[in-house]
């Protein structure tokens, strides 16, 4: 991993001379991990935050969606920032932004401001991660092979998600939920110290101005994404369209979407160009990732309800399931690397393997969940979930790079992550929440009809204890029903996908070098000026 395709030794000239060459890439790997550990708020501390801040679960989940929205919407700007500012400037700015957001978030109670802080933190997080990983890409794969780069990237991203949740939970249990924010603030200060002392301002290219960026378009798309997240996140709490708030918000979503479409069609340089939407296989990929995210949203609704309401696990017990999930993520990334890079099998078949993992997870949960099992019996389904998520994330990003030109790849990647990280999950969670709201009273009416005052008098049962056990069993039955319907839908999609065969090649097209990318952007800007 020390030579590029033209045998030029890999180097990182942005470091000062006293920093050893061998550890320079590992410094950036460490910094990338620290950025991915960060967040606006940390869901591992959700229950304690709810009790101490008087915020609802929906309020805190909206902070997560705002953070993910900031990451997704920022993708088209990554290369523009890279060619405008130095590496040290971008990393120091991103680390400072994450530091300030982590210090401010625990003390903000005004929700719109808190969501804005989480949104900005997401932008800083993706900027720092991209800047680190893009500079060590040639170290990982001298030929810029995405079948190597994407699996390693997802080890950093998905592995950090699980480890961050574990760390936040343990810090909350032993100290306080704000200690995770303080810890991340300290890590960012360490990053700033390393960058200030060990790095210097260095340019490989001539500075490219931030000309021709559709800032208003970026704002409109951000507003649309947050409006949709708010609609589905708070929909059940507002009783959906029975509430005037949801009706007004639905109208606002339609109006914002129309403005976004208008800018795509009539503005000279929109944030997402019309040509980006015209690629042949883009829409099927976007639809498929949305459906898969909806299936995997069971993690945030059905799993949590089962662990809390049926098993009565505390946070410290439930978080133990992050370990098999982490194992699944690592196994999935390594499997994707073996499949795509070592064996060079068809990428479409890899998606089928990932979907098979989701089917295994859903069926495993359906046949396993009960009120009298040991937590270790959940390890295999959770492992399959992590495995499937890693395989599909890697495969989808690889296929997306294959079907798109590099000019539109990061725009498509932004839309992909809007559906992948935000919309698929929030829509799926809303469906499962609504399903529980239907099945719980329905099952209560069905099974409760057999037990009345006369029956209770004959059997002389302990009513408080009986009702507690009865409600636990009703909740368990309702969760199994939703897992069953989700498994049916996933199996149907899996069977349909087996009949579909897209012409995705086994060999990826070559990724252009930085000089070619900068030249293409500069030519585009020159044409716009003319």
Average pLDDT over residues 187-194: 93
Q: Could you give the CA distance from residue 507 to residue 66 in angstroms, rounded to a whole number?
A: 37
Adjacent-strand bridge partners of 3: 9
pTM: 0.88
Cα(167)–Cα(165) distance, rounded to whole angstroms? 6
Whether the per-residue pLDDT at 253 is higher than 90: the answer is yes
Classify 3 as helix, strand or coil. Answer: strand
Average the pLDDT over each of 27-41, 67-81, 242-256, 495-509 and give the range with the smallest value.
495-509
Residue 525 is predicted with a pLDDT of 56
Instruction: Output the six-digit token pair for 413.
Output: 């990647």
Q: For residue 378, which of 309, 431, 317 has the smallest C-alpha distance?
A: 317
Model confidence band, residue 183 (pLDDT cutoffs 50, 70, 90)? very high
pLDDT at 505: 45
pLDDT value at position 1? 37
Secondary structure class of 159 (helix, strand, coil)? helix
Place of tokens 């997704």: 72
**Three state DSSP letters for 418-477:** HHHHHHHHHHHHHHHHHHHHHHHHHHHHHHHCCCCHHHHHHHCCCHHHHHHHHHHHHHHH
Which residues have a Cβ under 8 Å from the Cβ of 205 and sit 6 or more positions away?
83, 514, 515, 518
Return the percentage of the chain with pLDDT > 70, whole number: 89
Mean pLDDT of 453-476: 68
449: pLDDT strictly greater than 80: no
Per-residue pLDDT tens for 383-430?
A: 999 999 999 999 998 888 888 887 888 888 899 989 988 888 899 999
Nearest-angstrom CA–CA distance, 362 and 151: 24
Class of domain 279-448+458-530: mainly alpha
**23-209: CATH number:** 1.20.1250.20
Is the distance from CB of 473 to CB of 446 less than 8 angstroms? no
Predicted confidence (pLDDT) at residue 87 exceeds the cutoff of 60: yes
Q: How many CB atoms lie within 10 A of CB 325?
A: 25
At 185, is the pLDDT very low, low, confident or very high (cuts 50, 70, 90)?
Answer: very high
**Cβ 123 vs Cβ 72: under 8 Å:** no
Can you give the pLDDT at residue 455?
55
Of the pLDDT bands very low, low, confident and very high (cuts 50, 70, 90), residue 443 is confident
The answer to whether 507 and 398 are in contact (CB under 8 A) is no
What CA–CA distance (Å, rounded) separates 270 from 263? 6
- pLDDT tens, residue by residue, 277-297: 888 888 888 888 999 999 999
- Burial track 220-231 (b if 16+ CB lie within 10 A, e otherwise): bbbbbbbbbbbb
What is the predicted pLDDT for the residue at 152? 92
Grouping H, G, I as helix, E, B as strand and the rest as coil, residue 9 is strand
Residue 513 pLDDT > 60, yes or no? no
pLDDT in tens, 259-277: 999 988 888 788 888 888 8
Tell me if 294 sits within 8 A of 471, measured CB to CB. Answer: no
Look at residue 330 and tell me whether its pLDDT is greater than 90: yes
pLDDT digit string, tens, across residues 195-236: 999 888 887 777 777 777 888 989 999 999 999 999 999 988
SS3 of 199, please?
A: strand
């Amino acid at each position: 991993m020390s030579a590029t395709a033209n045998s030029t030794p890999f180097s990182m000239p942005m470091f000062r001379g006293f920093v050893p060459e061998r550890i320079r890439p590992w410094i950036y790997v460490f910094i990338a991990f620290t950025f991915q550990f960060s967040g606006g708020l940390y869901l591992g501390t959700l229950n304690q935050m709810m009790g101490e801040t008087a915020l609802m679960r929906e309020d805190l989940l909206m902070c997560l969606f705002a953070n993910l929205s900031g990451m997704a919407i920022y993708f088209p700007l990554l290369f523009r920032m890279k060619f405008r500012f130095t590496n040290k400037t971008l990393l120091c700015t991103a680390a400072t932004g994450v530091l300030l957001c982590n210090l401010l978030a625990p003390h903000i109670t005004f929700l719109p401001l808190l969501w804005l802080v989480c949104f900005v933190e997401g932008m800083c997080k993706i900027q720092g991660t991209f800047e680190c990983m893009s500079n060590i890409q040639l170290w990982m794969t001298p030929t810029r092979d995405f079948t190597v780069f994407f699996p390693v990237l997802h080890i950093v991203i998905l592995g950090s998600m699980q480890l961050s949740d574990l760390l936040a939970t343990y810090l909350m249990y032993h100290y306080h939920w704000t200690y995770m924010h303080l810890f991340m603030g300290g890590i960012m200060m360490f990053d700033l110290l390393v960058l200030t002392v060990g790095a210097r301002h260095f340019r490989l290219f001539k500075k490219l101005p931030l000309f021709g960026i559709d800032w208003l378009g970026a704002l409109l798309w951000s507003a649309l994404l947050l409006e949709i997240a708010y609609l589905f996140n708070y929909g059940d709490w507002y009783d959906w369209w029975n509430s005037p708030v949801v009706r007004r918000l639905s109208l606002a979503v339609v109006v914002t979407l129309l403005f976004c479409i208008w800018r795509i069609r009539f503005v000279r340089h929109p944030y997402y160009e019309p040509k980006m939407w015209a690629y042949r296989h883009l829409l099927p990929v976007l639809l498929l990732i949305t459906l898969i995210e909806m299936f995997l949203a069971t993690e945030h609704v059905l799993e949590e309800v089962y662990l809390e309401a049926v098993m009565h696990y505390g946070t410290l017990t439930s978080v133990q399931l992050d370990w098999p999930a982490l194992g699944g993520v690592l196994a999935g990334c390594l499997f994707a690397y073996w499949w795509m890079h070592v064996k060079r099998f068809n990428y479409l078949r890899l998606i089928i393997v990932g979907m098979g993992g989701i089917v295994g997870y859903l069926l495993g949960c359906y046949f396993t969940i009960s009120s009298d099992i040991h937590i270790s019996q959940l390890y295999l389904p959770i492992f399959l979930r992590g495995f499937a998520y890693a395989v599909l994330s890697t495969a989808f990003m690889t296929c997306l790079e294959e079907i798109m030109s590099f000019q539109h790849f990061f725009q498509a990647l932004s839309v992909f992550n809007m559906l992948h990280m935000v919309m698929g999950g929030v829509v799926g969670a809303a469906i499962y929440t609504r399903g529980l709201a239907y099945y719980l009273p329905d099952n209560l009416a069905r099974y409760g009809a057999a037990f009345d005052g006369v029956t209770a008098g004959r059997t002389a049962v302990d009513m408080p204890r009986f009702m507690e056990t009865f409600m636990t069993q009703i909740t368990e039955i309702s969760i199994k029903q939703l897992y069953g319907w989700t498994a049916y839908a996933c199996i149907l999609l899996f069977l349909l996908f087996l009949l579909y065969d897209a012409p995705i090649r086994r060999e990826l097209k070559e990724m252009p070098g930085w000089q070619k990318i900068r030249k293409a952007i500069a030519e585009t800007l020159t044409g716009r000026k003319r």
